[in-house]
Structure 1
Amino acid sequence: MLTGILLHTPRWVWILLASLIALGFAQAVPRRMTPARATAVPVAMAVVSLGGVMSTFSAFSAQPLALLGWGVGAAAALALAHTVGAWNGIRWLEADRRLLVPASWVPLSLILCLFITRYGVSVAMAVNPGLLWHAGVAMPIGFIYGAVSGIFLSRSLVTWRLTRQAMLDSVPG
Structure 2
Amino acid sequence: MLIYNILVHTPIWVWLLLAFLVSRGVAAMRPKEIAPRRALIVPAVFLLWGLAGLIGSQGLGGNLALFAVGAILGLAAGGALAALAPAPRFIPETGRLAMTGSPIPLIMILSAFAVKYAGAVTLAMASDPGAHAEIASALALAGGVFAGLFWGRTLTQFRRAFIAAGLYAGWSSLPRLVFTSAPSLERAG
What is aligned with 1:133? 133
1:10-49 matches, cutoff 5 A: 10-49=11-50
Q: What CA RMSD, in Å, does the superposition of the two structures yield over aligned residues? A: 2.8
Structure 2: distance between partners of 1:6 and 1:153:
30
CA change 1:11–1:88 in 2 (3 A) is same
CA contact (8 A) 2:35 2:95 kept: yes
CA contact (8 A) 1:69 1:143 kept: yes
Structure 1: distance between partners of 2:40 and 2:8:
36
Structure 1: distance between partners of 2:147 and 2:13:
24
What is aligned with 2:74? 77
TM-score, scaled relative to structure 1: 0.77
What is aligned with 2:121? 123
Q: 1:148 is matched with which residue: 132, 143, 146?
A: 146
Q: How many residues align?
A: 167
> Unaligned stretches of 5+ in structure 2?
170-184
CA change 1:68–1:156 in 2 (3 A) is same
CA contact (8 A) 1:49 1:114 kept: no
> Unaligned stretches of 5+ in structure 1?
none
Q: 2:112 is matched with which residue: 93, 111, 114?
A: 114
Structure 1: distance between partners of 2:157 and 2:28:
15
What is aligned with 1:66? 63
What is aligned with 2:51? 50
TM-score, scaled relative to structure 2: 0.72
Q: Which has the higher contact order (CA 8 A, sep 6+)?
A: 1
Structure 2: distance between partners of 1:40 and 1:102:
17
CA change 1:93–1:171 in 2 (3 A) is closer
**Percent identity among equivalent residues?**
29
